[in-house]
Amino acid sequence: MKQTPGKIFLADQRGTTATSKSRSYHTFNFGHYYQAHKQPVGNLYLMNEEMLAGRQSTTLQVEQASHIIVIPLTGAVRVQVGTETPTPIDVEEVQVNTLPAHSTVHFQNSYEADFIQFLLIGVKADLPVETVSSQLFRFGFQDLENQLTQIIPADQEQNANLNLPFALSLGKFDGRQEVVYSLQNQKAQFFAFVISGAFEAEGRLLHEKDGLALWDTTAVELEALSHNALILVLQLAEPVAHPLQQERLGANTR
Q: What is the mean pLDDT of the chain?
A: 92
Whether 253 shows a pLDDT value over 80: the answer reads no
Arithmetic mean of pLDDT, 149-166: 83
Measured distance CA(142)–CA(2) in Å, rounded: 36
Domain count, the chain: 1
Whether 12 shows a pLDDT value over 70: the answer reads yes
Measured distance CA(39)–CA(220) in Å, rounded: 22
Q: Is residue 1 part of a domain?
A: no
User: What share of the chain has pLDDT > 70, as a percent?
Assistant: 91
Q: For the domain that residue 197 is a member of, what is the CATH number?
A: 2.60.120.10
Q: Is residue 244 part of a domain?
A: no
Q: Is residue 252 part of a domain?
A: no
Q: Is residue 103 part of a domain?
A: yes
What pTM did the predictor assign? Answer: 0.92
Domain of 206?
6-239
Q: Judge contact between 190 and 231, C-beta under 8 A.
A: no
Per-residue pLDDT tens over the stretch 223-248: 999 999 999 999 999 866 544 444 33
**What was the pLDDT predicted at 210?**
98
pLDDT bin (cut points 50, 70, 90) of residue 155 is confident
The residues facing 133 across adjacent strands are: 98
**What was the pLDDT predicted at 154?**
82
Q: Is residue 254 part of a domain?
A: no
Per-residue pLDDT tens over the stretch 43-93: 999 999 999 999 999 999 999 999 999 999 999 999 999 999 999 999 999
Q: Is residue 250 part of a domain?
A: no
Q: Is residue 205 part of a domain?
A: yes
Q: Is residue 55 part of a domain?
A: yes
Q: Do strands 22-26 and 66-74 pair parallel, antiparallel, or not at all (unpaired)? A: unpaired
